Amino acid sequence: MLKGRTAFVTGGTGAVGGAIVRVLAREGAAVAYTYHTAADKAAALDAELLAAGAHAASYPLDVLDGAAAAALAERVDRELGPVDILVNNAGVTQVLPLALIEEADWDRVMDVNVKGTFLVTKAFVRGMIRRRRGAVVNMGSLAGMRVLDVPVHYATAKSAIVGFTLSLAREVGRYGIRVNAVVPGMLTEGVSVNIPERSQEEYKRFCTLSRAGRPEEVAELVAFLASDRASYINAQAIFIDGGL
């Protein structure tokens, strides 16, 4: 499905990020992915992918360093090939009520989730525009789309990702670049583990499938959207929440 393509994934050592990297590699793409501080996890994932015969490599990156992102775009182009799939997955959250959120907390969550997505996208979309081909998949969250008991700064950031997706899709569609967002509900791993047990049970009660999703299920959707099989899907925020 993705043979001959090169993908770049931010936050590739987390539960969802790792699943995305594995599925993209399984589908035949050369995969570059980033980590921030989890060098040990990146080394382990590199070894796993190498053993599976995948063409993949990890790179350290602070997504808030725009110059570093631009330099990495050039490096990946040289080492793995021109990137035509970008997955903006890196993100952070905090479990705090509004009254306890400090300005620095707000800035950190907004910066990593929103500004980081902007900086990385800017670095990699330039090449896609020159080649007039590409697919961008941004990671949203049900937290930014539904009335849920979630931290307000995280919900705000994820809501912004959807707005970013819609506007960017309109701007770059003329160059043959598609931009979509994936909007997961509660998952068995990742940031969902911070959800109180009471809220987890409430989610399952209202979810039509009566369970949490798996990172691998999200990764399969990301891979589909990145492929030519989704060639007429653009400017969408696609829910994968088990039917809430």
How would residue 85 be classed by pLDDT, with cut points 50, 70 and 90? Answer: very high
**Token output for 109:** 């969550």
For the cut 90, the answer to whether the pLDDT of residue 35 exceeds it is yes
Any domain includes 164: yes
- Please state, in angstroms and rounded to a whole number, the distance separating the CA atoms of residues 158 and 144: 5
Indicate the number of domains in the chain: 1
Any domain includes 1: no
Please compute the mean of the pLDDT values over residues 204-233 and round it to a whole number: 97
Query: 67-72, long-range: CB within 8 Å, 24+ apart, which pairs?
Result: 69/119, 69/120, 69/122, 69/123, 69/124, 70/122, 70/123, 72/34, 72/123
User: What phi and psi values does residue 58 have, to the nearest 5 degrees?
Assistant: -105, 150
**Token output for 92:** 């952070």
Could you give the percent of the chain with pLDDT greater than 90?
92
Please compute the mean of the pLDDT values over residues 77-99 and round it to a whole number: 96
pLDDT at 14: 96
Print the domain residue range for 45. Answer: 6-240
Which residue is catalytic, options 33, 35, 154, 203?
154
Could you give the percent of the chain with pLDDT greater than 70?
100
Any domain includes 233: yes
Residue pLDDT, tens place only, 155-210: 999 999 999 999 999 999 999 999 999 999 999 998 888 788 888 999 999 999 99
For the cut 90, the answer to whether the pLDDT of residue 149 exceeds it is no
Residue pLDDT, tens place only, 111-141: 999 999 999 999 999 999 999 999 999 999 9
Any domain includes 22: yes
Any domain includes 163: yes
What does pLDDT average to over the chain?
96
Any domain includes 77: yes
Query: The domain spanning residue 206 has which CATH number?
Result: 3.40.50.720
pLDDT at 199: 86
Q: Is 59 an annotated catalytic residue? A: no
Amino acid (1-letter code) at residue 111 = D
Which DSSP state fits 213? B
Any domain includes 16: yes
Strand order of the sheet with strand 134-139? 56-60, 30-35, 6-9, 85-88, 134-139, 177-184, 237-240
pLDDT at 64: 98
